[in-house]
Amino acid sequence: MSSRRIFARPARFAAITPYVWMVLFFLVPFAFVLKISLSQTAIAQPPYDPVFDLTAGWETLKTALAALSIDNFRLLISDDIYVFAYVRSLTVAVTATALLLLIGYPIAYGMARLPKSWQAVAMVLVIVPFWTSFLIRIYAWINILQHDGLLNQILLTLHLVSQPVVWLSTDSAMYIGIVYSYLPFMILPLYATLAKMEPALEEAAGDLGAPPWQVFWLVTFPLSLPGVGAGVLLCFIPIVGEFVIPDLLAGSNSLMIGQTLWLEFFTNKDWPVASAAAIVLLVVLLAPLLLYERLQKRQLEQGR
């Protein structure tokens, strides 16, 4: 079949432009991050001392390689601020992802049990807030959580508290913000696997005498694990590097790594340290990133 062979070519042809684009603007930049993370900080514009200049030829490259410094990485390990920031980022991400799973699962489960025609509506309803700006959604919560905001007003009128509670600049505010922003990312993959599940399986377990919680725990939950995996990764990875939410909602006494990176870059103008922090963050996230890619590829390339 000669048409099959012609058929094969356009795919390669189609790939060229996006391929070159991604190499140039996604892959190559990491080389620069790596290079600058190994440079010395300098008070200059741009604020780092370039370690090597490829245009100067291989001879200089050799001397330059000797000048590479891992000082920035040493600083990251020795300075408590960074160690704490990484630990905190991971703890926040684990806690928030667990909360998201606990809150998202019942919602996704409810969606999957709706009649078919309602399911589409429910899915749109879950997606729409995702379309409204991240920043706006965080701002909406600042409105509610501020000192004389709606939440405190309600609590006071109901006499649940005697004076306004401080919500802003606390971890609870941050967790509310994270759960609120990432909820659609958790619900959608969960819903996708739950909706595909054969209802007869649950019914059979029930008919054989299993109480509802046992049906859920022994049948529904294990079958939904692929969705759980996708949802967890989809939330966990970006939360580790989250900047906006902790910056606007959490207190400033303990920072997440995204915040320290931002601070080093914009406030201290220490590009090499910021780059080193980015590299470490990337290394921390490498395993979950690879796992996520495999899941994503399997889902998209083998059809749903």
Partner 1 sequence: MRKLSRLSRFNIAALTLGLAFLYLPILILVIYSFNASRLVTVWGGWSLRWYHEFFNDRAMIEAAWMSLRVAVSSATIATLLGTLAAVALSRGERFRGRTLFSGMLYAPLVMPEVITGLSLLLLFVALNAERGFWTVTIAHTTLTMCFVAVVVQSRLGSLDRSLEEAAMDLGCDPVRAFLSVTLPLIAPAIVAGWMLAFTLSLDDLVIASFTTGPGSATLPIRIYSEVRLGVKPEINAICTLVIALIAGVIVIASLASKLSSSQGESAAPL
Contact positions with partner 1 (CB under 8 A) in 31-70: 32-33, 36, 46
Indicate the residue among 8 and 66 with the shorter CB distance to partner 1. Answer: 8
Widest CA span of the chain, in angstroms?
A: 81
Q: Which of 85, 99, 250, 278 binds partner 1 (CB under 8 A)?
A: 278
Residue 76 interacting with partner 1 (CB under 8 A): no
Residues 6 or more apart whose CB falls under 8 angstroms from that of 167 comprise 145, 146, 149, 151, 152, 173
Least Cβ distance, residue 243 to partner 1 (angstroms): 6
Residues 6 or more apart whose CB falls under 8 angstroms from that of 10 comprise none
Indicate the residue among 16 and 79 with the shorter CB distance to partner 1. Answer: 16
Residue type (1 letter), 222: P
Residue 74 interacting with partner 1 (CB under 8 A): no
Q: Which stretch binds partner 1 (CB under 8 A): 4-12, 62-70, 71-79, 220-228?
A: 4-12
Cis peptide bond N-terminal to 46, omega within 30: yes
State the DSSP string of 9-71: HHHHHHHHHHHHHHIIIIIHHHHHHHHHHTSEE-SSSSSEE-S--GGG-HHHHHHHHHH---H
Half-sphere exposure of 94 (CA within 13 A, CB side): 6
Residues 143-202 that bind partner 1 (CB under 8 A): 143-144, 146, 148-150, 153, 180, 183-184, 187-188, 199
Residue 133 interacting with partner 1 (CB under 8 A): yes
Least Cβ distance, residue 252 to partner 1 (angstroms): 11
Residue 303 interacting with partner 1 (CB under 8 A): yes
Least Cβ distance, residue 71 to partner 1 (angstroms): 18
Helix 271-301 and helix 225-240, axial crossing angle in degrees, nearest 10: 160
Residues 232-261 that bind partner 1 (CB under 8 A): 233-234, 237-238, 240-244, 248, 258, 261
